[in-house]
Structure 1
């Protein structure tokens, strides 16, 4: 009887030990599975960024991740996303993916909206349409949405501009912002920078030459279009300010090219000078209603810090150096213009 009890007790102990081992293995497997699903490397190196559009749902995000092979195990990602309640916390943005990132880290980043900003740098963009197209490549809104606001009288009036001169608000520089910045927030950001640029000192200098900040920028756009070399900008600015003071038409060739909307023109012929446009400064006295290109900060500062002179005429030098011959009298200007026209003829530049 004692041996039977002992044998029975040993069997029970073995059974309990076996069950404990099985349970430990099961727990270990469960723990390992849990760890791998949450912390194991899952993000691939096939894409650097995940773009989540405004209004996107979790289904949209999951489809993008799956179709683009952004993670190795899509089932594990889906499971982790549901368990971390990410399916109800989708936030738009541009998210930096790092190869080997685990689901938990990835989902925490997406759910918290911890996106990486983009750098938007622009300069020397001639037309509003070019500007809108360029910006649309940097942030989420498309060019149509940006143009819509640029051409909206009611919208630009909020900032004190017209649809003709609103382009002066955008000062060339490098800006950091989130990819999903709305068109309205983008404008608000650019206006804040515009206000920061127009310090009391700059406003005082503008008033001293009887121009508003907008008018300074419009003139700066002409100076920028005329000057190939920045060191000549203050002289050109001074010349045009002399013409404005004297009530003489600016007669700027770049304004005619802008009015013609043909930027392949290298020689402004007489027939172009009669183009019926408020931007044609051969026909109209004073400044055009808006800028003919996005003026650089150097050009704006050159107008504010113009070089004083008696010049009222300028003509490109015949050596095609990009510099100009300046004069205060028509006779000398005609001589300078003839030299340049002869140089154009020698190079067979007809238009």
Structure 2
């Protein structure tokens, strides 16, 4: 009996020791897993891409190729199961940096928090400038480089529509895999929305009859001044001229009509040579917009400022501001001041002999 009791005690002791060892081992492994999951990574690459069809083992191999050597494969696989990420990582491009832990990285991939790229359409750009910017954008997928403007609008679903002025100046966010058409569709929809809002808010006595005419007028206003505060005043000048049948006589339309022939200077012959866009030789609006107008320019075109000014000219002090005049005599005096200011600036810039 004594021997049997001693044997039972021995077995119990062994079991207790084995349990303690198991618990200790489990605690140690848990600690190591936590330590791995929350420690900073040390990648050598800045980004990696999960492609369609990539399984977790492929993703793990790409992480190794990106210089992430932390953790055993089994630890990554266990962490993926713990985060419910195994088989659920989203396709896309992901940033890799030393602030991320394995847990944070897999969580990003599980949630699809991919790298965001940006393309900004600048206020006043024309369609040639916009298409050049799209062509330079990386990693945007280029599908329209070989299309002319008509084919481009056809591909967008707006066949027969002139592309000038149709895309709202704004910053558009895209991700790897998006195409230039994706960005253009969003910019076109944004312009349609902004134009509709401006048209709905238009003044009762506005001397234009369609939203497209409003878009044309806004594009001319956009090119006439870089100062948002002046746009309603310039819109007022143009609205009053349209009401009395006076030609707009605005240089930006002439420049647009010259196209590639414009060399940075407007000459007298340019103002007198007739083109569809020469508002010195033709009355009314141009046949199409001449640039991409901003939302501010659209609202200025819809709500011109009150006043009696029919003329404006640059002040010439470098501020971009204009002097507004109600009569031709006042305008001539403002032009004379501008020319005097210009001569003074040139004299100051000319080095002494």
TM-score by length of 2: 0.68
| Residues 204-259 of structure 1: per-residue CA shift (max 9 Å, x gap) | 62784324333323322222322243332222112222333444442222334444
1:270 is aligned to 268
| Residues 54-95 of structure 1: per-residue CA shift (max 9 Å, x gap) | 647357744553344457336356534776673574422657
Summarize the Cα distance change of 1:246–1:214 in structure 2 as closer, same or farther, 3 Å threshold: same
Query: Residue 19 of structure 1: CA displacement?
Result: 7.0
1:107 is aligned to 106
2:297 aligned with 1:299: yes
Comparing 38-47 and 334-343, the one that deviates more: 38-47
Summarize the Cα distance change of 1:273–1:110 in structure 2 as closer, same or farther, 3 Å threshold: same
2:91 is aligned to 91
1:313 is aligned to 311
| Residues 277-321 of structure 1: per-residue CA shift (max 9 Å, x gap) | 654434554333444443232222221111244543322235555
Contact 1:314/1:327, CA 8 A, preserved across alignment: yes
Runs of 5+ consecutive residues of structure 2 not aligned to the other structure: none
| Residues 108-128 of structure 1: per-residue CA shift (max 9 Å, x gap) | 442343558788776536244
Contact 1:139/1:178, CA 8 A, preserved across alignment: no
Contact 1:165/1:214, CA 8 A, preserved across alignment: no
Contact 2:143/2:180, CA 8 A, preserved across alignment: yes
Summarize the Cα distance change of 1:166–1:289 in structure 2 as closer, same or farther, 3 Å threshold: farther
**RMSD value over aligned CA atoms?**
4.9
The separation in 2 between residues aligned to 1:129 and 1:27, in whole angstroms, is 70
Summarize the Cα distance change of 1:313–1:162 in structure 2 as closer, same or farther, 3 Å threshold: same
Query: Residue 146 of structure 1: CA displacement?
Result: 7.2
Query: Residue 325 of structure 1: CA displacement?
Result: 3.2
The separation in 1 between residues aligned to 2:143 and 2:23, in whole angstroms, is 55
2:149 aligned with 1:124: no
2:54 aligned with 1:57: yes
1:44 is aligned to 41
Superposed counterparts of 1:178-189, under 5 Å: 183=180, 186-189=183-186
Summarize the Cα distance change of 1:127–1:16 in structure 2 as closer, same or farther, 3 Å threshold: farther
2:229 aligned with 1:231: yes
Contact 1:96/1:116, CA 8 A, preserved across alignment: no
Summarize the Cα distance change of 1:314–1:200 in structure 2 as closer, same or farther, 3 Å threshold: closer
Secondary structure of 2:202's aligned partner: helix
Secondary structure of 2:234's aligned partner: helix
Contact 2:165/2:293, CA 8 A, preserved across alignment: no
Contact 2:50/2:90, CA 8 A, preserved across alignment: no
Summarize the Cα distance change of 1:307–1:40 in structure 2 as closer, same or farther, 3 Å threshold: closer
Superposed counterparts of 1:90-239, under 5 Å: 90-92=90-92, 99=99, 101-103=101-103, 106-113=105-112, 123-124=122-123, 126-128=125-127, 131=130, 141-142=140-141, 144-145=142-143, 151=149, 152-158=152-158, 161-167=161-167, 170-172=168-170, 183=180, 186-190=183-187, 193-198=190-195, 202-203=199-200, 205=202, 208-239=206-237
The separation in 1 between residues aligned to 2:281 and 2:32, in whole angstroms, is 75
Contact 1:225/1:293, CA 8 A, preserved across alignment: yes
Summarize the Cα distance change of 1:153–1:40 in structure 2 as closer, same or farther, 3 Å threshold: closer
Question: Among residues 321, 324, 330, which one is paired with 2:322 in the alignment?
Answer: 324
The separation in 2 between residues aligned to 1:37 and 1:280, in whole angstroms, is 73
Contact 2:143/2:181, CA 8 A, preserved across alignment: no
Summarize the Cα distance change of 1:285–1:43 in structure 2 as closer, same or farther, 3 Å threshold: farther
The separation in 2 between residues aligned to 1:218 and 1:190, in whole angstroms, is 17
Secondary structure of 2:163's aligned partner: coil
